[in-house]
């Protein structure tokens, strides 16, 4: 029987022993084998989008400005359609049989999806490929506008295995090509009174990402956070409040909150629209707190 696949954030410090957030999960099976690049298979979906930011016709000042801009994406229900996969698709995989019983329902869905996608009569391949195309295009657009990080409350094993839901897209290869770093939240040793565990964890890991990107130099932070939960927006706001040179160079803090629990098609459509409007949002030169409707409407 295979072990459970932990999807909640691991803990450090004062998390209670035995709680769901106190246990770390070893990567008990190899990273899922991924299919060939979606760019090669679908061709035109990302046509015209730069593979890398650097270009000979971009002057140095513009390049410096672009490299200072940072977009931070959440993973679950922002790029990965986790709710739909685990609550909708999982119920439609009864036709797939596994050789061993699996305790963890999310791991079972991962393994059944692998098997379904390997079949010529796959029920979900075309839909997952379309979503993968939307995600790849969005990340390429975001990287052409500045640096990109992914900050997630999910565990590293879940992040690695959830790549199977991007049919046709080699997720690790894309992240390497675009130089996108992934940060995994942990429960901090001290949680401020009145602050939720999720917000405390997100704030800590987002601060790590920001300081790694900007360092301690007198550089204006210009950050856009994109996620489906209030913790993403609130964490960035708290981090910007703590910017060490806030009084001298006030950070630009922009947040975009997506709808919660989207269907696969709705999330894909939202990301396609976001790809089209992202240059405007990234270039916005004032603080902003957008919903999808206010940002794209």
Each residue's pLDDT tens digit, 132-175: 999 999 999 999 999 999 999 999 999 999 999 999 999 999 99
Q: What is the mean pLDDT of residues 115-131?
A: 94
Q: What is the pLDDT of residues 226-261, one digit of tens each?
A: 999 999 999 999 999 999 888 888 999 999 999 999
In the chain, what are the domain boundaries? 38-81+125-296
Domain 38-81+125-296: CATH architecture, name and number where available: 3-Layer(aba) Sandwich (3.40)
Q: What is the pLDDT of residues 38-82, one digit of tens each?
A: 333 333 343 333 343 344 444 554 445 555 899 999 999 999 999
pLDDT higher than threshold 80 for residue 129: yes
- Helices H, strands E: what count in the chain? 11, 6
If phi over 0 gives left and psi between -120 and 50 gives alpha, with beta otherwise, what is residue 168?
left
Distance of alpha carbon 53 from alpha carbon 63, whole angstroms: 8
H or E segment at 132? helix 125-145
pLDDT higher than threshold 90 for residue 219: no
- Which residue(s) pair with 149 in the sheet? 72, 181
pLDDT at 218: 83
């Amino acid at each position: 029987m295979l072990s459970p696949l932990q999807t909640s954030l691991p803990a450090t410090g004062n998390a209670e022993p035995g709680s769901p957030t106190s246990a770390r999960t070893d990567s008990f099976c190899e990273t899922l084998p991924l299919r060939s690049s979606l760019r090669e298979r679908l061709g035109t979906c990302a046509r015209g989008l730069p593979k890398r930011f650097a270009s000979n016709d971009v002057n140095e000042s513009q390049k410096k400005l672009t490299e200072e801009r940072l977009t931070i994406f959440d993973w679950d229900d922002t790029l990965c359609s986790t709710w739909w996969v685990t609550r909708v698709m999982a119920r439609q995989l009864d036709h797939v049989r596994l050789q061993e019983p699996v305790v963890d329902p999310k791991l079972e869905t991962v393994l059944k999806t692998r098997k379904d996608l390997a079949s010529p009569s796959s029920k979900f391949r075309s839909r997952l490929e379309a979503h993968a195309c939307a995600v790849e295009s969005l990340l390429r657009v975001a990287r052409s506008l500045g640096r990109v990080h992914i900050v997630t409350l999910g565990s590293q094993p879940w992040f690695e295995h959830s790549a199977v839901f991007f049919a046709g897209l080699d997720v690790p290869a894309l992240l390497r090509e675009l130089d996108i770093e992934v940060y995994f939240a942990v429960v901090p040793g001290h949680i401020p009174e009145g602050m939720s565990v999720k917000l405390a964890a997100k704030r800590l890991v987002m601060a790590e990402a920001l300081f790694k990107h900007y360092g301690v130099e007198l550089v204006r932070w210009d950050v856009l956070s994109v996620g489906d939960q209030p913790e993403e927006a609130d964490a960035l706001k708290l981090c910007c409040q703590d910017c060490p040179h806030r009084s001298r160079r006030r950070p630009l803090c922009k947040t975009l909150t997506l709808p919660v629990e989207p269907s696969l098609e709705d999330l894909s459509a939202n990301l396609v629209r976001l790809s089209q409007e992202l240059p405007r949002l990234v270039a916005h030169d004032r603080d902003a707190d957008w919903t999808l409707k206010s940002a794209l409407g």
